[in-house]
Amino acid sequence: MQRVLHVVGARPNFMKVAPIVHAMAREPGQFDQLLVHTGQHYDANMSHVFFEELGLPRPDVNLGVGSGSHAQQTAVVMQKFEPILLEYQPDWLVVPGDVNSTLACALVAAKLGTKIAHVEAGLRSFDRTMPEEINRVLTDQISELLFTPSKDADQNLQREGIDEARICFVGNVMIDTLVRLLPKAEERWPNLLREFKLGDYLLVTLHRPSNVDDPTTLSQIMQALQQLGRDIQVVFPVHPRTRSKLAQIGFGATISGIRLLEPFGYLDFLALQAHAALVLTDSGGVQEETTYLGIPCLTARPNTERPVTISLGTNRLVKSHCSAIVKEAKAQLDGDRRLSSVNSAPPALWDGKAADRIVDALRKAD
């Protein structure tokens, strides 16, 4: 029996780990699992509700790390995680994505000689100013198995000198969760429609420091949303960190033309994505989910580590500037240069079975 320790830190990790936990649970004689939540997201709507909706067991350990600078958060995770790893002595540490918890726990494991499996390996924005890019690159370098979601990720790892024997193209495990829970999300839609009196709407998510920490940039984005709000409903579930930044630049709880809402759980937010006229985001996961759903997406970033969403024509990068956002959004909403739908042909291995391939690879690994 293999002992496997899973780490979840921030909200996107939950959707990536849940299918793997479920797949391993179907083989109780093969895998013994421990689930560690670092507490990098500590707001109830950003964390606990996800365990319930995704059918994840309550974490065996919660490190309760909370917020802090990148250095502080990484250091505290490492300090608190080391005794857990020493006590459990897993055969494999499974870390998903690119958050601080991912790198912190991988570093601890590498120092102690524990084998690491990185889920969603090989993605690159080629922008080293992004903390997530540093986390991705370093985690890949010290991982034994690299589970990639797309072929461009394989190519990135090969260019970096990673042994091909360590690279395993499994597909997008986030899509496993989407495929499994989309029917449940659709059941939520009638209530959302009534509660928020939704017609056509633009769905917005913002959380990256490059967009929300710079007062000028955040003001430009909000000005764009106010302009767009004259013609279409703007639905903006606000990340707690983003809400505090809005308050600092003078945007209160009520903004003309914009519905500022509390963060949603996974199912409600998935339903909102599936029915949006357009999505504006800076999230990597949302780029992938809208691509699978066939919903046009504008990404307020200069680059993306998920280029498959661009090449398929479902996603487009846009400058975080008022005029650029308004111009591109109106072009989409008016039907000009309309982004395409890929419902009939999603990317390779975005089929809801990535977790099965991950579990199979771990079962066969030495």
> CA–CA separation, 289 vs 129, rounded Å?
25
Burial (CB < 10 A; 0-12, 13-18, 19+), residue 199, is: exposed
Rounded average pLDDT over 142-160: 97
DSSP H or E stretch at residue 244: helix 240-248
> CA–CA separation, 54 vs 76, rounded Å?
27
Q: Got the DSSP string for 97-139?
A: SSSHHHHHHHHHHHHHT-EEEEETTT-----TTSHHHHHHHHH
Is the pLDDT reported for residue 341 higher than 80? no
pLDDT value for 339: 65
Give me the helix-helix angle, 284-293 and 173-195, nearest 10°: 80
DSSP H or E stretch at residue 198: none
Q: Where is average pLDDT lowest: 45-49, 87-91, 199-203, 278-282?
A: 45-49
Q: Where is average pLDDT lowest: 9-23, 148-162, 277-291, 338-352?
A: 338-352
Rounded average pLDDT over 346-352: 91
Chain segment 157-215, per-residue pLDDT in tens: 999 999 999 999 999 999 999 999 999 999 999 999 999 999 999 999 998 889 999 99
Rounded average pLDDT over 24-47: 81
- Of 173, 96, 198, 174, give the one whose Cα is nearest residue 355: 173
pLDDT value for 118: 98
Chain segment 283-336, per-residue pLDDT in tens: 999 999 999 999 999 999 999 999 999 998 899 999 999 999 999 999 999 875
Q: Where is average pLDDT lowest: 69-83, 127-141, 227-241, 253-267?
A: 253-267
Cite the active site residues.
207
Chain segment 63-103, per-residue pLDDT in tens: 988 778 889 999 999 999 999 999 999 999 999 999 999 99
Radius of gyration of the chain (CA): 20
The pTM (predicted TM-score) of the whole model is: 0.93
Q: Where is average pLDDT lowest: 13-27, 57-71, 149-163, 267-281?
A: 57-71
Contact partners, residue 129, CB within 8 Å, separation at least 6:
210
Q: What is the DSSP letter of 347?
A: S
Residue labelled with tokens 């300090």: 79
3-state DSSP assignment of residue 330? helix
> CA–CA separation, 91 vs 114, rounded Å?
7
Show the domains of the chain with their CATH numbers: 2-172+349-364 (3.40.50.2000), 183-333 (3.40.50.2000)
Give the tokens for residue 71: 């250095």
Contact partners, residue 191, CB within 8 Å, separation at least 6:
none
Contact partners, residue 315, CB within 8 Å, separation at least 6:
287, 290, 291, 296, 297, 298, 299, 304, 306, 309, 339
Confidence tier at 45 by pLDDT (50, 70, 90): low
Is the pLDDT reported for residue 132 higher than 90? yes
Give the tokens for residue 119: 């889920």
3-state DSSP assignment of residue 169? strand
Residue 332, φ and ψ in degrees, nearest 5: -70, -45
Residue 184, φ and ψ in degrees, nearest 5: -65, -40
Chain segment 103-125, per-residue pLDDT in tens: 999 999 999 999 999 999 999 99
CA 236 to chain centre: 17
CA 85 to chain centre: 25
- In percent, the amount of the chain with pLDDT more than 90 equals 78
